Amino acid sequence: MIHYCVTGVERSGTTWLAHVLNEDGSVVVEHEPRLIKVLDSRVQAMAAQGILDAELHVQARYAYWQRHSQDKELAEVGHYARYFARDIQRIHGIPVAAVVRDGRLVVRSIYNHRYFLRPELPRVKPSEEMDPFAACCWYWNHGYESLRDQEIPTWRLEDLNASYDAFASLCLYLGADVSEDQWQRWAGKRVNDRTWAKEPLDWTPEQDAMFREHAGRMQSFHGYPLPGEAA
């Protein structure tokens, strides 16, 4: 029923990726169905703290898929599954991957969307006293630390968008079938402009320092430059 799952942190390109993977005509790619999104967002903090009964939650969320599949072959792409990605992989025996995007651009995007200034989002929070910009850095870092700790293989959005070979390696892992011609229809496109922060990064020296402190190690882990470094 569910063939694979791809996750990541918000603003990292899951919308674009869902469109490209949906070129595989044998599978319907669902991008963050509303009920799953609400269900997962409510338990993110519990999952991140290790106090969620992950097996029960994963079984409950896939009861949704079973009821709504209507005999279709489905795949899931969305960021809300990241804190229990390994449990999805283990319980349902499907490949789970992640997509990452340059943390500098993601932080800028979620900061511009006023994350940590809206009381209802996100469900996983650092210290209430943390500067909102630093909190966005922490949030991006925390999500990918969780995926790294779960040993979820991760592909860089920039590589998937620029190179069919990189995209084909993801397809091979997932069992997806998207040709180079189909990939080419989406290569370089910005499906959702809100997802793509525009250059240059007009941060203050203080913001550069915050990013380095809270997200610098994970940024380097994925091969991205730190603020002030050449791309």
Cβ–Cβ < 8 Å for 98, 107: no
Is position 113 within any domain? yes
Is position 24 within any domain? yes
pLDDT at site 193: 55
**Beta bridge partner(s), residue 97:** 6
Supply the pTM of this predicted model. 0.90
Q: Provide mean pLDDT across the span 79-88.
A: 91
pLDDT at site 128: 83
Range of the domain at 63: 2-189+197-221
CATH number of the domain bearing residue 157: 3.40.50.300
Is position 229 within any domain? no
Is position 71 within any domain? yes
Is position 72 within any domain? yes
Is position 175 within any domain? yes
Distance CA 170, CA 164 (A): 10
The 8-class DSSP code of residue 155 comes to E
3-state secondary structure of 28: strand
Give pLDDT tens digits for 109-148: 889 888 888 877 777 888 888 999 999 999 999 999 999 9
Give pLDDT tens digits for 1-57: 789 999 999 989 999 999 999 999 899 998 887 778 888 888 888 888 889 898 888
Domains identified in the chain, total number: 1
Is position 124 within any domain? yes
Number of H helices, E strands in the chain: 10, 5
**Beta bridge partner(s), residue 99:** 155
Distance CA 106, CA 150 (A): 21
Is position 155 within any domain? yes
